[in-house]
Amino acid sequence: MAGLPGVTPGSPGPAVCEWSAPLNIKYFATFRDLTGETACVLENPPATVGELLEVLSARYGTPFRRAAFEGEDLSPFLVLLVNGRNVRHTGGRTTPLREQDEVCVFPMVAGG
Amino acid sequence: MYGWTGTTLRIDLTKGIATREATNMTLAHEYIGARGLGGRILTDEVDHNVDALSPANKLIFAPGPFTGTFAPSAGRFNVITKSPLNGTIAASNSGGTFGAELKYAGYDMVIIEGKSPKPVYLWIKNDQVELRDASGLWGLNAHDATDAVRELTDEDAKVACIGPAGEHLALMGCIMNEMHRAAGRTGVGAVMGSKNLKAFAVVGTGSVTVADPVAFKAAVMKARGKIQAHPVGGAGLKAYGTNVLVNILNETGALPTRNFQDGYFPTADKTGGESLAAKQLVRPKGCFSCIISCGRVTKVDNPEYAGIGEGPEYETAWGFGADCGIDDLDAITKANFLCNEYGMDTIACASTIACAMELFERGYLTLADTDGIDLRWGDAHAMVEMVRKCGEGEGFGKRLAEGSYRLADSVGHPELSMTVKKQEMPAYDPRGVQGIGLNYATNNRGGCHVRGYTIAVEVLGNGMSMDPHVTEGKAGLGIAFQNLTAALDSSGACLFSTFGIGGDELAEMLTALTGVSYTVEEFVKIGERIWNNERMWNLDNGYTSADDTLPQRLLDEPILTGPSKGEVNHLGEMLPEYYSLRGWDEDGVPTEATLESLSL
Amino acid sequence: MAKILMIHPDKCTGCRNCELACSFQHEAAFRPGATNVHVFTWEREGFSVPMMCQQCDDAACVRVCPTGAMRHSSDTPNLVEYDEATCIGCKMCVVACPFGNASYDSKAKRIAKCDTCAGAPECVLFCPNGALEFAEDGEQIRARKKAYASKFKDVFQEVR
């Protein structure tokens, strides 16, 4: 766990990880399996979506990274919402993040 | 004859006569099958003025050329008729296995005419066709009727039937096949009931042949690979089902809540695909030839709502969920099981109950109307009881069964019915997603999402991604979806195959199968032809551009909470461009030039 | 090494792609009578099972065949071969198979029985759900056994 900003080492695997303050991240569908969590709270959020996904990839490992990225770009099968807006329309990985933002991480899903 | 069988069966229920005829292959080439071909036959043979519940209406069961082959996820059939709900062409699409069995029995279409003097069921085994007494079956729910018909015919017969709702001519009555699949929308079950036709059983042992087997198999393997490589077609839908959409629509702020009063439902996650997978899923299920398996075999243990069946799908989980302010998944699933047993369109049923809840909350309906039931937002018990009453056609259920438009209109508040052309809108709030609003407004059968599913681009980002909150480009997007989907619906393919493949792969497979050369442009043009044929029927029935609209609520009342708070739908910015790009005049009427270019 | 065509009914979704693949392999067309594998679906329970010849080591169909058209393959292990040229269509094999896995196809005038497509079974290729597997001796149950073994792993990991 060393080297990750804002992380307090402690007992493993709570249902909600408490890093420290208010970037609210929610996981859905296969991301719940990939992370083992439904939600997460992150203090001192990185400045951009791209950096956030790097932090989360380091935390959750290669399967998460593969679902989030395709090379340097965001995976075409990632649907990331910041305050309900798909980041593809707000600057992609350069989309800025602020405290109290609500981030929702989805794989591409479908239905009818 | 490849792909198609070349034979159409015509059943006159009034006289009790069956006639075999050659399928009109010129029309088959130009309309493909299913929705397109059935729709053209209907517009040719049925006067647009007919009373949809009269013997003069026709009920057409039609698979497509792909149906019965191993084209991936392409085993569907349509039921085509004039809708008693709204007079449009109802071409209701269903999966399961029934369509394939019709092809093996040797038929491109079965056209049912007239009205039987007494309740009957139709039993077809290849070229052996019988109409048999159904007096012992009348009143049975769709599951019991299916088993009963099999005992009388063949234990492996594929059975399409109506439940009590269709028998009562409920405008939301649908046709169920293989117990859990539905030709769900626009009142096709009521038409079947109006003809005194309880069930249709079929066994087929014939062949569907292929023009170029080597090319067909190669095209199929390529298409399969693309669908399987796609995260949705390949794994996502199988893991979570269509209900996975609850959360993404909610987090976009476009999950219609409490009869479209709002677009965000805080406890929606309890009703979504993740919860369903954790609590109720027994195993996934697939239709004939399907490689996606979005179907859910589900079980509810809670003794109050216990049962085993299939579903709920997204529309159903939304309708009996957020749209009614309910987050009890067990109750929602029970409502779905009931709809399958009674044979009712879950979108219409749920949305009508939501409308009734709003009317009750506002005092436009009272306890005297609702048989003493307090019909309030979030009351799962009341909701389930209303579903049952609706299916039985009992008490207040008789009024519910007519759908939300007629219900709201009867108390002087049609503006509280969340319908377009009297058909209930599905589970996407147009104030949060602009393009789907255009599709609802212009859809030939009224409030419908599947025929122009711009959600795939506006919310899901399949293939390309467009901002749901802008109107720019949405007219062109909507038309592209509507045209391709009309052709796809006519081929027997399932819409979900488009998570992976598109017009190119469909045209390639269709060419190899039938031996008739289709380019992707021709394939899409056929879709445009089908769309315009349906449009002309609606115009003949008195629909005008004034009907290409949305409820005032969606145009004037902003979403109250959540990520799309403050938004309304800007239909007026999209509709003129839509008409223009379609080659229609300012009143939405196809021009002579457009019709000529489509051979209409 | 010998391969066995194994079914995993718990994964079957009832899509019948196996039937379509089998029919197409034999006739380049889709016909219910031409497939050697059949899927049975119970709709109320939502359960489906694909069924095909089990290639018995001591096959009843081989024992009753008067011409030797049904025979244990001399070069391929785990295969009951069917030689259409020697078959007289007496259908004794159909009568004898206790599983009902041999049937008479009256259109093609032959016995419909799985032949594993000369070692590359099409049904396995087409099944989208892993409900059919063509696996080596001892490996065909590996996934199932391992899935249960991993439950022990999880239990013991939690208890420290």
Domain count, chain A: 1
Evaluate whether B151 touches B236 at the Cβ level (below 8 Å): no
Please tell me whether residues B475 and B361 are part of one structural domain. no
- CATH code of the domain containing A89: 3.10.20.30
B282 and B371 in a common domain: yes
Range with lowest mean pLDDT among B223-237, B578-592, C132-146: C132-146
Is residue B137 pLDDT above 80, yes or no?
yes
- Other Cβ atoms less than 10 A from the Cβ of B572: the count is 10
Per-residue pLDDT tens over the stretch B414-423: 999 999 999 9
Closest residue in A to B272 (Cα–Cα): A29
Same-domain check for residues B195 and B319: no
Give yes or no for residue C159 having a pLDDT over 70.
Answer: no
Paired sense of beta strands B109-113 and B7-12, if any: parallel
Q: Is B243 within 8 Å of B314 (Cβ atoms)?
A: yes
Instruction: Write the ipTM.
Output: 0.95
Tokens of B15: 């006289």
Is B98 a domain residue? yes
Residue A3: predicted pLDDT:
36
Sheet holding B281-285, edge to edge: B281-285, B295-300, B307-310
Average pLDDT, chain C: 93
Q: Which domain holds residue A31?
A: 17-107
B126 touches chain C (CB under 8 A): no
* Structural domain contains residue A5: no
Compute the average pLDDT of residues B480-495.
98
Query: Does the beta-carbon distance from B248 to A106 stay under 8 Å?
Result: yes
Q: What pLDDT does residue C31 have?
A: 97
- Does the structure show a pLDDT above 60 at C74? yes
- Let me know whether B413 and B482 are in one domain: no
**Candidates B210, B221, B289, partner chain C, best to mutate (most C CBs within 10 A):** B289
Residue segments in chain A with a per-residue pLDDT below the cut of 70: 1-21
Percent of chain C with pLDDT over 70: 98
User: Looking at residue B308, what is its pLDDT?
Assistant: 96
Closest-CA distance, B449 to chain A, in angstroms, reads 8
Please, which pLDDT band fits residue B159 given cuts at 50, 70 and 90? Answer: very high
Q: Residue B515's domain spans which residues?
A: 434-549+570-597
For residue B38, give Cα distances in angstroms to B61, B92, B490: 8, 11, 9
Question: C113 is written with which tokens?
Answer: 């029985």
pLDDT at A5: 43
The closest alpha carbon to B418, from B551, B543, B524, belongs to: B551
Q: How confident is the model at residue B522 (pLDDT cuts 50, 70, 90)?
A: very high
Q: What is the DSSP string of B443-507?
A: -TTSS-SGGG-THHHHTS-SSS---TT--TTHHHHHHHHHHHHHHHHHHT--GGGGTT--HHHHH
List the structure tokens of B525.
Answer: 């043009």
Query: Between B180, B210, B309, which is nearest C29 by CB?
Result: B210
Query: What pLDDT does residue B213 have?
Result: 98
**What is the pLDDT of chain B when averaged over all its residues?**
97
Q: Per the domain annotation, does B114 fall within a domain?
A: yes
Lowest-confidence pick of A88-102, B350-364, C111-125: A88-102
Regarding whether B267 and B188 lie in a shared domain, the answer is no
Asked if B399 contacts B386 with a C-beta cutoff of 8 angstroms, the reply is: no
Q: Strand, coil or helix: what is A41?
A: strand
pTM of the full structure: 0.95
Does residue B412 sit in the same domain as residue B485?
Answer: no
| C15 → chain B, closest CA residue | B288
User: Three-state DSSP class for B175?
Assistant: strand
pLDDT > 50? residue B504? yes
Same domain, residue pair B134 and B16: yes
Percentage, residues of chain B above pLDDT 90: 99
- How far apart CA B286 and CA B72 sit, in angstroms, is 11
The answer for C111, left when phi > 0, alpha when psi is -120 to 50, beta otherwise, is beta
Smallest Cβ distance to B284: which of C13, C24, C27?
Answer: C13
Which C residues, 33 through 62, put their C-beta within 8 Å of a C-beta on chain B?
33-34, 41, 43-47
Question: Which residue bears the tokens 């090494």?
Answer: C1
* Residue B324 counted as domain residue: yes
Extended strands (E) in B149-231:
158-161, 175-177, 181-183, 197-203, 208-209
> Which chain A residue shows the shortest CA-CA distance from B315?
A112
**Residues of chain A contacting B461 with CB distance shorter than 8 Å:** 76, 79, 86, 88, 108
Q: What is the mean pLDDT of residues B221-250?
A: 94
Is B449 in the A-facing interface, judged by CB distances under 8 Å? yes
Instruction: State the smallest CA–CA distance between residue A110 and chain B in angstroms.
Output: 6
Write the residue in B70, B178, B285 that is nearest to C126 by C-beta: B70
Establish if B583 touches chain A: CB-CB under 8 angstroms.
Answer: no
- Cβ-Cβ contacts under 8 Å between A and B: the total is 102
Q: Are the Cβ atoms of B248 and A109 closer than 8 angstroms?
A: yes
Question: Is the residue at A2 inside a domain?
Answer: no
Q: What is the pLDDT of residue A16?
A: 44
Asked whether residue B560 is assigned to any structural domain, the reply reads: no
pLDDT for position A13: 40
Amino acid C160: pLDDT: 57
B512 touches B216 (CB < 8 A)? yes
List of domains in chain C: 3-158 (3.30.70.20)
A76 and A70 in contact (C-beta within 8 Å)? yes
Q: How many helices (H) and strands (E) does chain C have?
A: 5, 9
| C75-99 tens-digit pLDDT | 999 999 999 999 999 999 999 999 9
Is A50 domain-assigned?
yes
Band of residue C147 on the pLDDT scale cut at 50, 70, 90: confident
Nearest to B285 among C44, C46, C128 (CB): C46
Encode pLDDT of B358-388 as tens digits: 999 999 999 999 999 999 999 999 999 999 9
Report the pLDDT value the prediction gives residue B133, as an integer from 0 to 100: 98
Is B460 in contact with A109 (Cβ distance < 8 A)? yes
Q: In this structure, are B453 and B481 located in the same domain?
A: yes
What are the chain A neighbours of B269 within 8 Å (beta carbons)? 38
